């Protein structure tokens, strides 16, 4: 059942990927003309259509909570979310939480996807190379200071059990160094779309946006406690979201 569900979903989903890559590349024209806002708007528009098609292909019902809590677009925003599935990135973007992703360096080799990630302002990180990891954090800080929102999954990799793994030490350094506003996000049921795709029935995917935390207003003591605080908030909200297909 699992293989059949994934094959059927991919057959429906993949045809839109090529035009999405080509249309995303056109945003570079806007960037070259120093029309960054227009370029981002063009990119997000076409990706929104692609993500909508992904949800149709995988038979997902998309539910977003807490949009009213989002800070103004003019703020430096760092989205911090739990990581259950390869569908977590479409989930963030589908909720309108656009920005560059801190992604594993292996994704840089995926033809087509690397083009889209470049246009989004994603930053690749090599967890095996501490020096490169530091450079990646500094690049993320640079993006935030330039007005580009960023997103990070502090667990460092997808959970294999469906439970939230401990957050990596230093995962929030990018946000605190840039004095950004952290927006905690809890994502539920994305594993049931792909990794644990054991049914053809419609899957409700939840994205819950929690209260923002302005790191520029935190004391040194509060900054030290921040990683545990954010992790606890996401864990608590994740446990409250209706979960299905846990295997």
pLDDT score, position 245? 53
Domains in the chain (CATH in brackets) are: 62-240 (3.40.1130.10)
Which has the higher per-residue pLDDT, 194 or 217?
A: 217
**Statement: residue 9 has pLDDT above 80:** no
Tokens of 228: 């545990």
The span from the CA of 134 to the CA of 125, in Å, is 9
pLDDT score, position 247? 44
pLDDT digits (tens, 9 = 90+) for 10-45: 777 777 777 887 877 788 788 788 787 888 888 888
Using alpha carbons only, what angle is made at residue 116 by residues 112 and 122, rounded to the nearest 5 degrees? 125
1 falls in which pLDDT band (50, 70, 90)?
A: low
CA dihedral sign of residues 157, 161, 163, 169: negative
**Statement: residue 218 has pLDDT above 50:** yes
Question: What percent of the chain shows pLDDT beyond 90?
Answer: 47
Are 150 and 140 spatial neighbours (Cβ–Cβ below 8 Å)?
A: yes
The span from the CA of 62 to the CA of 60, in Å, is 6
The residues facing 183 across adjacent strands are 79
Which helix (H) or strand (E) segment is 136 a member of?
A: helix 130-145
pLDDT score, position 69? 95
**Statement: residue 108 has pLDDT above 60:** yes
pLDDT digits (tens, 9 = 90+) for 54-102: 988 888 999 999 999 999 988 999 999 999 888 999 999 999 999 999 8
pLDDT score, position 119? 82
Tokens of 54: 């992904």
């Amino acid at each position: 059942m699992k293989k059949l569900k994934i094959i059927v979903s991919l057959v429906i989903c993949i045809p839109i990927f090529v035009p999405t890559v080509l249309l995303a590349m056109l945003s570079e024209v806007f960037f070259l003309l120093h029309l960054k806002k227009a370029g981002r708007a063009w990119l997000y528009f076409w990706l929104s259509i692609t993500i909508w098609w992904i949800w149709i292909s995988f038979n997902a019902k998309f539910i977003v909570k807490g949009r009213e809590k989002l800070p103004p677009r003019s703020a430096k925003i760092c989205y911090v979310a739990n990581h259950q599935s390869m569908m977590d990135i479409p989930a963030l973007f589908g909720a309108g939480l656009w920005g560059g992703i801190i992604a594993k360096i292996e994704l840089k080799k995926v033809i087509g996807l690397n083009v889209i990630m470049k246009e989004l302002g994603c930053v690749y990180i090599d967890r095996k190379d501490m020096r490169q990891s530091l450079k990646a954090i500094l690049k993320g800080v640079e993006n935030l200071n330039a007005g580009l929102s960023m997103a990070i999954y502090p667990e460092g990799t997808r959970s294999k059990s469906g439970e939230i793994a401990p957050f990596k030490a230093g995962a929030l350094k990018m946000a605190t160094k840039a004095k950004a506003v952290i927006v905690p996000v809890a994502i539920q049921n994305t594993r049931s779309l792909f990794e644990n795709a054991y049914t053809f029935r419609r899957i409700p995917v939840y994205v819950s946006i929690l209260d923002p935390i302005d790191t520029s207003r935190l004391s040194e003591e509060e900054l030290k406690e921040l990683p545990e605080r954010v992790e606890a908030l996401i864990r608590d909200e994740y446990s409250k979201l209706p979960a299905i297909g846990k295997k």
